[in-house]
């Protein structure tokens, strides 16, 4: 009941344009692709503070290379929204053709935009947003990931079951290889590309040197995308037909645990405590999963929530807090090595603990079903 009371009360100051969450509470931004809005959530109270209207259809968000600005792609509205993640203030908007998935190169020189509906990949100069090159792709370019040296960008092509490699130096598509049915999410991980196959029950590994494709790990039908945890220990992979999240050992690529989560989990963001904030696409909710004990909470947001971003508001912690942590060498924008700790930040390689007193996880597949209703501690069961 207190949440129902808290929501309107918290909304009052926000109505005056001030994003005044309780002191030091992290802020979470959720992109509601089905109703042209961005939900702003108080991460501590777990209430939605407000919904910011956008033009048409927001899908993904990335931080600028300096970590100061959240860039949100409104694909239907043909614009990029540049937002101050600390205050929620929109700094500016830029007209850009159909930005569906987007990512900056690790060296911060380029912004690459995938246009799912227009079969094209656009390369922009990150500073000026001048279009540097446009590559027509065969069918439904979906997600992009860079190599750590910023030379290559890899694109999943959902319609043809391929991955295309674009050389940013030569400004050309240098190769395309079949990887399996309906590839979606893609990340760089320790010299390889890991790709989720929506038309399959697992992820594949693509060696960009030899272009050899091998099975990486198995999840369940409708494998979708994956995200490295900031501490670098795990990868978290989602699947949609058998809806859930899989915790995968980042070293061995063995599945450690499975969390059954209904509602179509899609994008994942991590808060500084190691909790997973994920959008439940079909259910119109955001789930907060604590992987240490399997407990889960959900918050109602808008229709078809897709991209998500957690803005920490803690002493000495920046929006790109994960950039100094070991997991930053994997992902769609993999750094060659974690950034050095900046003033006031904890040293690289010594991230905050995931959860104080969290039990050490034993390796091996363990199923952890978690329902999608509020505060439902999950049961631990054997996978088989």
Beta carbon of residue 345, minimum distance to other proteins (angstroms, whole number)? 36
Q: Is 158 in the site for other proteins (CB under 8 A)?
A: yes
**Contacting residue, 170, 300, 350, 379, with other proteins by CB under 8 A:** 300
Q: Is 168 in the site for other proteins (CB under 8 A)?
A: no
Integer Cα distance of 142 and 140 in angstroms: 6
Nearest Cα residue to 262 out of 289, 235, 236: 289
Residues in the chain, total? 384
Find the binding residues for other proteins in span 333-362 (CB under 8 A). Answer: none
Return the number of the residue (95 or 359) whose C-beta is nearest other proteins.
95
**Contacting residue, 9, 23, 92, 95, with other proteins by CB under 8 A:** 95
Q: Is 115 in the site for other proteins (CB under 8 A)?
A: yes
Return the number of the residue (90 or 348) whose C-beta is nearest other proteins.
90
Q: Is 313 in the site for other proteins (CB under 8 A)?
A: no
Distances (CA, A) of 132 to 110, 122, 124, 258: 9, 8, 5, 42
Q: Is 199 in the site for other proteins (CB under 8 A)?
A: yes
Q: Is the dihedral of CA 177, 180, 186, 192 positive or negative?
A: negative
Q: Is 377 in the site for other proteins (CB under 8 A)?
A: no
Only segment of 19-27, 135-143, 226-234, 308-316 that touches other proteins (CB under 8 A): 135-143
Binding mask 264-293 for other proteins (x = CB under 8 A): x----------------xxxxx--------
Provide the Cα torsion 103, 107, 108, 114; round to 10°.
Answer: -20
Q: Is 92 in the site for other proteins (CB under 8 A)?
A: no
Q: Is 159 in the site for other proteins (CB under 8 A)?
A: yes
Integer Cα distance of 242 and 202 in angstroms: 11
E strands present in 169-295: 172-178, 183-189, 192-197, 202-206, 213-218, 223-228, 234-239, 244-249, 255-260, 265-270, 276-280, 285-289
Integer Cα distance of 187 and 144 in angstroms: 8
Return the number of the residue (183 or 294) whose C-beta is nearest other proteins.
183
Q: Is 77 in the site for other proteins (CB under 8 A)?
A: yes
Beta carbon of residue 364, minimum distance to other proteins (angstroms, whole number)? 27
Q: Is 186 in the site for other proteins (CB under 8 A)?
A: no
Q: Is 91 in the site for other proteins (CB under 8 A)?
A: no
Scan for tokens 């039908």, then name that residue.
221
Is the CB of residue 318 less than 8 Å from the CB of residue 339? no
**Contacting residue, 19, 44, 64, 76, with other proteins by CB under 8 A:** 76
Is the CB of residue 366 less than 8 Å from the CB of residue 256? yes
Q: Is 176 in the site for other proteins (CB under 8 A)?
A: no
Integer Cα distance of 125 and 321 in angstroms: 24
Is the CB of residue 111 less than 8 Å from the CB of residue 122? no
Q: Is the dihedral of CA 210, 221, 226, 163 positive or negative?
A: positive
Return the number of the residue (26 or 74) whose C-beta is nearest other proteins.
74
Beta carbon of residue 164, minimum distance to other proteins (angstroms, whole number)? 16
Q: Is 35 in the site for other proteins (CB under 8 A)?
A: yes
Is the CB of residue 204 less than 8 Å from the CB of residue 217? no
Beta carbon of residue 108, minimum distance to other proteins (angstroms, whole number)? 25
**Contacting residue, 117, 171, 375, 379, with other proteins by CB under 8 A:** 117
The residues binding other proteins (CB under 8 A) are: 32, 34-37, 53, 55-57, 76-78, 95-98, 115, 117-120, 134, 136, 140, 142, 158-159, 181-182, 184, 198-199, 221-222, 240-241, 243, 262-264, 281-285, 300, 302-304
């Amino acid at each position: 009941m207190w949440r129902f009371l808290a929501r309107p009360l918290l909304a009052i100051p926000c109505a005056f344009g001030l994003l005044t969450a309780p002191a030091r509470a992290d802020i979470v931004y959720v992109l509601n692709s089905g109703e042209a809005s961005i939900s702003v959530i108080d991460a501590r109270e777990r209430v939605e503070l407000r919904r910011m209207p956008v033009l048409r259809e927001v899908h993904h968000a990335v931080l600028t290379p300096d970590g100061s600005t959240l860039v949100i792609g409104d694909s239907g509205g043909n614009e990029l929204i540049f937002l101050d993640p600390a205050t929620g203030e929109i700094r500016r908007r830029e007209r850009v053709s159909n930005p569906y998935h987007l990512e900056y190169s690790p060296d911060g020189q380029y912004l690459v935009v995938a246009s799912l509906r227009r079969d094209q990949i656009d390369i922009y100069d990150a500073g000026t947003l001048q279009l540097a090159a446009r590559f027509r792709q065969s069918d439904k370019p979906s997600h992009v990931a860079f190599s750590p040296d910023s030379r290559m960008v890899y694109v999943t092509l959902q319609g043809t079951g391929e991955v295309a490699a674009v050389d940013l130096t030569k400004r050309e598509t240098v190769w395309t290889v079949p990887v399996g049915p309906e590839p979606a999410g893609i990340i760089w991980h320790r010299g390889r590309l890991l790709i989720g196959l929506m038309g399959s029950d697992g992820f594949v590994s693509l060696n960009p040197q030899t272009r050899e494709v091998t099975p990486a790990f198995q999840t369940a039908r409708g494998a979708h995308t994956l995200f490295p945890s900031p501490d670098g220990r795990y990868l978290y992979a989602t699947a949609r037909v058998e809806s859930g999240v899989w915790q995968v050992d980042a070293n061995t690529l063995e599945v450690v645990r499975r969390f059954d989560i209904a509602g179509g989990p899609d994008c994942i963001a991590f808060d500084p405590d190691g909790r997973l904030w994920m959008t439940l696409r079909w259910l119109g909710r955001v789930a907060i999963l604590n992987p240490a004990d399997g407990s889960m909470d959900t918050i109602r947001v808008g229709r078809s929530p897709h991209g998500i971003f957690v803005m920490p508001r803690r002493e000495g912690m920046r929006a790109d807090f994960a950039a100094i942590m070991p997991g930053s060498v994997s992902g769609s924008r993999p750094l060659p090595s974690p950034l050095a700790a900046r003033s006031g930040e904890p040293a690289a390689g010594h991230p905050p603990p995931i959860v104080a007193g969290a039990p050490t996880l034993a390796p091996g597949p363990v199923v952890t079903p978690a329902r999608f209703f509020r505060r439902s501690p999950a049961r631990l069961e054997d996978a088989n």
